[in-house]
Every structure is written in C-alpha cells, then in structure tokens.
C-alpha cells in the first residue's frame, strides 16, 4: 500500500504552520505544498512595513532547507486549477494531476480591484512581488497617493512618509480605520497621520484615474483632483474561493468550514483568510484575515486532518505598526449589529488607550493604541471566567489581571 498523501494548496504562513504541525505530530506520509508564488511561504506582515522601509528583506517562515529535511515536496510557481472531490485529485496548470488522501485549501485572498483603477503607476499589495514593485515605485516617487484608509493603506502611508515622501490618503468613509475602530478612535489615527505630515482627505469618493502625459497619475475625487507619482490601492480583499466553488464546495464569501476546519467533502479542509467559520458569539460566518489566526488555524487543522476533532477556540489577535505607534486587538470587536458598550482606559489625547467591548459584565474584545500589555491581559481574560465593570476598566490603578475570577480551591468546590 502506498503512503497517504496530504496536498496543501496555497503558500501563506497558515500552510507552512500546517505542514510543520503535520510533521511534528508524526505524520510520515507524503506532503505536497502547491503555491502559485515562486518562493517558500514567508512572513506577510512586514510587506507593508519594514520591507517597504528597506529595514527587512523577505523573511521565510521556514527556509527552503527545512522542507527538504522534512521531506515536504514544494511545487512553487504552480497554480492548482481544478479539484475533483470524487476522484480526490488536484489538476495543476499545465495539466499534471496530483492525487490526495487529504486536501488543505489555504488559498487566501487577493486585493479587491476597483474597476477602472489600474494601469501604470497603480499598485495593489498582497504578495512579495507586489511589495518589491511597490517599494521601487515609492523609492522613485515624490508624491505617493494612497486610496483606502484601512490597515494596508495606513501602513503603506506611514512607510512612505518615513521614506521622506509627500503622502495623500484618500478615504471614502468619515475617517481612517473607520470599520475597525469606529469614528472616535479612527480619528485619533487620522490625527497621527496628519501630525506626521500626511494630507488625509476623508469622505471623498474616487471618480476616476488617468495616466498623465509626462508620467504620473491623476486621481479625480468628489473633493477635487490629486496628481501623484504612484497610487497605492488598499480597499479590501476578495477570497480566493473559486477553486473550491468549482469543485462543488460551499464557497460564497469564503470556503464554508465547521469549527474543526472540515468542509462538507470528506478529507477536505480549509484554513486562513479564505475559510469562513461560524464563531461562538458571532451572528454569522466570518472570515478572519489575521496573520496569527492563519498560523493557529494551520496547527489545529493539521491535527484534525490526522484524526482529532479539535474545535478552534483561540482568541483572534492582530497588530498594526504605524510610525512609532502600535495598534493591537484581541477578540472580535462587534460590528454594527453588536451589543454591549465601548469603555476607554487611558487617554485618546495622549494616544495611549485601550477600548474594551464590554457585554454582560464580560470583556468580549479590546483594541488598543500603544498599550500592548492590556491586550495581552485581555487575551487571557477572555477565555477565563472573569467579571468586569466599566468603572474597573477605566481605573488604571487596577491591574486587568485582577479581573479574573479567583480560582476556587478544590476543597470548597467539593462542598459547593
């Protein structure tokens, strides 16, 4: 009998984590990692930060020698174009077929492309290739325009300013990071960018983009025209779920998986940005596009592929570095339909605060600016029994750790 084979499609950090966990758990079968990108899986977060600044190169999650050592077959620069669930085969571009016993789909997302916003001088950022091209463009530019005041846009703007460039940020919503932070906290971030010299123009829709005769690009907006040398577009993402959809899997906004990352097809799992999972306490299925989450997905999914039924319960966490400021968050901040109240600890004026989502005496999530320790504490509290009031959270003299319910000694538990 031949050895079982696990095929992983996608070359992000989640894939690398899954492959490493499969070997760590003692899986001795064949592993093939298929990635459309030409390099081994690498750390994506620096691409919008240190990589643009030139203070970091491309950082592989594991170097190429590791895959060799662990007998992981790498098919890089190779696109998977079809999955046959019944025959358990993957067809690669060029026609080659690859049989699998189990399949992990980690195809990620791609930048949402605005119709008509393309051509020379327009950059989108997702891959190492995108980042290298963007770095060259920014280095050569005098004026960098950024379309979209989300995390990618804000980080690229910060890097460009650090590189001495003139920067204009165009955002349709009322302030920067509006969806993630809301109006009040988003405005704090907008203030940081303005103080660093960015021209932040919010509430403006882009009407069109055209190349200028002498080079450069003109962006027409509802608030007037902006001429720039390069336009960086960061307006959200689209899940790469077509492969799964064509195979017959449920894949509307992402690939539908259960709490253990299994799809409806036997032996087929999906993780990372592309996986749409029902989360405890959230209304519907969500895709979580965080680096740390993708890695944790990979580890848990790998164990489940080897026969465990381990539900994913890890707390979602992310960070964003802009200038010398760090934004961090733990848990999932409720959207517009969320319940509960937002409580601030620290000072918006001093740009050092944590905003807690408090619901029924429990902390559901936190987002903080320059207070990473709070986020560490909350990350632990969320999964433990705790009680918190708005007053306690505002009181900076009270360590957050103290909100954990005291562990009850076993003797008392027995009597209770």
Partner 1 sequence: MNLDDLWEGDMTAVTVDGETVLLVNVDGTVRAYSNRCPHQASALDEGDLDGDTLTCAKHLWEFNAVTGHGINPDDAQLKSFACRVGDDGTIYVDIGR
Q: Give residues in contact with partner 1 (CB under 8 A).
A: 24, 292, 317, 319, 326, 372-373, 375-377, 379-380
Minimum CB distance to partner 1 smaller for 187 or for 377: 377
Minimum CB distance to partner 1 smaller for 112 or for 373: 373
CB of 299 to partner 1, least distance (A): 9
Minimum CB distance to partner 1 smaller for 124 or for 151: 151
CB of 41 to partner 1, least distance (A): 13
Minimum CB distance to partner 1 smaller for 137 or for 296: 296
CB of 236 to partner 1, least distance (A): 24
CB of 375 to partner 1, least distance (A): 8
CB of 179 to partner 1, least distance (A): 23
- Label residue 172 exposed, middle or buried (CB < 10 Å: 0-12, 13-18, 19+): middle
Q: Which helix (H) or strand (E) holds 6?
A: strand 5-9
Minimum CB distance to partner 1 smaller for 42 or for 317: 317
DSSP three-state, residue 100: coil
CB of 154 to partner 1, least distance (A): 18
CB of 249 to partner 1, least distance (A): 30
Minimum CB distance to partner 1 smaller for 174 or for 319: 319
CB of 349 to partner 1, least distance (A): 22
76: left (phi over 0), alpha (psi -120 to 50) or beta: beta
Sequence-separated (6 or more) residues with CB below 8 Å from residue 395: 345
CB of 355 to partner 1, least distance (A): 17
* Helices and strands in the chain, H and E counts: 11, 26
398: left (phi over 0), alpha (psi -120 to 50) or beta: beta
Minimum CB distance to partner 1 smaller for 27 or for 124: 27
Integer CA distances (angstroms), 267 to 30, 87, 302, in order: 15, 12, 11
DSSP symbol at 386:
B
Q: Is residue 149 within 8 Å of residue 169, measured between CB atoms?
A: yes
Sequence-separated (6 or more) residues with CB below 8 Å from residue 180: 150, 151, 186, 329, 333, 367
- Parallel, antiparallel or unpaired: strands 268-270 and 102-105: parallel
Minimum CB distance to partner 1 smaller for 289 or for 377: 377
Listing from the earlier edge strand, what are the strands of the sheet with 72-76? Answer: 72-76, 30-35, 5-9, 102-105, 268-270
Minimum CB distance to partner 1 smaller for 144 or for 363: 363
Placement of tokens 């009270």 in the chain: 398
CA distance 324 to 371: 12
Residue of 28, 239, 5 whose CA lies nearest to 103 = 5
DSSP three-state, residue 153: helix
Minimum CB distance to partner 1 smaller for 216 or for 331: 331
CB of 279 to partner 1, least distance (A): 20
């Amino acid at each position: 009998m031949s050895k079982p084979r696990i095929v992983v499609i996608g070359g992000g950090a989640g894939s690398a984590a899954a492959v490493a966990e499969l070997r760590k758990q003692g899986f001795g079968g064949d592993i093939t990692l298929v990635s459309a990108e030409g390099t081994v899986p690498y750390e994506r977060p620096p691409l919008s930060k240190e990589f643009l600044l030139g203070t970091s190169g491309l950082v592989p999650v594991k170097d190429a020698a590791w895959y060799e050592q662990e007998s992981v077959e790498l098919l890089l620069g190779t696109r998977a174009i079809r999955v046959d669930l019944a025959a358990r085969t993957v067809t690669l571009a060029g026609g080659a077929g690859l049989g699998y016993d189990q399949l992990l789909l980690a195809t990620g997302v791609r930048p949402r492309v605005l119709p008509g916003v393309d051509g020379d001088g327009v950059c989108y950022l997702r891959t190492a290739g995108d980042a290298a091209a963007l770095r060259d463009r920014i280095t050569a530019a005098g004026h960098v325009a950024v379309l979209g005041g989300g995390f990618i846009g804000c980080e690229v703007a910060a890097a460009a300013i650090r590189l001495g460039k003139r920067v204009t940020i165009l955002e349709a919503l009322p302030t920067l990071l509006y969806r993630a932070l809301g109006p009040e906290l988003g405005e704090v971030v907008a203030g940081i960018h303005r103080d660093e010299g960015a021209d932040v123009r919010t509430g403006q829709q882009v009407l069109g983009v055209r190349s200028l005769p002498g080079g450069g690009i003109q962006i027409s907006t509802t608030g007037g025209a902006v001429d720039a040398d390069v336009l960086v577009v960061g307006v959200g993402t689209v899940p790469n779920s077509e492969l799964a959809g064509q195979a017959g899997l449920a894949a509307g906004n992402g690939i539908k998986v259960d709490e253990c990352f299994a799809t409806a097809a036997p032996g087929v799992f999906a993780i990372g940005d592309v996986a749409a999972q029902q989360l405890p306490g959230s209304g519907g299925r969500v895709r979580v596009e965080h680096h740390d989450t993708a890695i944790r997905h990979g580890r848990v999914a790998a164990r489940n592929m080897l026969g465990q039924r381990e539900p994913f319960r890890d707390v979602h966490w992310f960070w964003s570095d802009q200038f010398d400021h760090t934004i961090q968050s733990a848990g999932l901040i409720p959207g517009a339909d969320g319940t509960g109240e937002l409580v601030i600890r620290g000072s918006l004026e001093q740009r050092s605060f944590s905003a807690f989502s408090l619901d029924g005496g429990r902390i559901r999530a936190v987002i903080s600016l320059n207070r990473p320790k709070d986020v560490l504490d909350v990350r632990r509290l969320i999964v433990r029994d705790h009680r918190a009031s708005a007053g306690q959270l505002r009181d900076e003299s009270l360590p957050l750790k103290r909100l954990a319910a005291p562990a009850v000694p076993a003797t008392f538990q027995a009597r209770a």
